[in-house]
Amino acid sequence: MSIKRNICSCCGRPITPYEPAIHFPCPNCGDVTIWRCEACRERGKSYRCLKCEFVGP
């Protein structure tokens, strides 16, 4: 049995199950789900959409 792990869009690190990470659809295209881990969110690191290359926040 394999478990799918979500990857942080900012740092590329796999997100652990009980970590207070968030996910939301890409604000620009809406097709890709963006994941942000707790550390990246606290530091205000930028994320990039894989499809439309939108850079946020």
Partner 1 sequence: MARKKKKSEETQNIEDIQEEKSSLVDFEEDFEDDLDIEEELELLDTEDLSVLGEDKAVVVDKDEEKKNLFLSCGIHIGTKLLTGDARKFIYRQTNYGLYVIDLTETETRLKIAANLLSKFVDEGSDKVIVSSVRRYGKEPVKKFCEALGCKAITTRFIPGSLTNPNIETYIRDASVVVIVDPHADKVILNEAQLARVPVVSLFDTDDSLKGIDLAIPANNRGKKALGLAFWLLAKEISIQLGKISSENDFPYTLEDFTSKIVPLYNKQQSRR
Radius of gyration of the chain (CA): 11
Please count the residues of this chain forming the interface with partner 1, following the rule CB under 8 A. Answer: 16
CA–CA distance from 35 to each of 1, 13, 38, 46, 56 (Å)?
A: 23, 10, 10, 12, 12
Query: Of the two residues 13 and 54, which places its CB atom closer to partner 1 in the complex?
Result: 54
Over the window 13 to 52, marking each residue x when it contacts partner 1 by CB under 8 A and - when it does not, the resulting string is -------xxx-xx-xx-x-----x----xxxx--------
Query: What values do phi and psi take at 11, rounded to 5?
Result: -110, -10
Residues that bind partner 1 (CB under 8 A): 20-22, 24-25, 27-28, 30, 36, 41-44, 54, 56-57
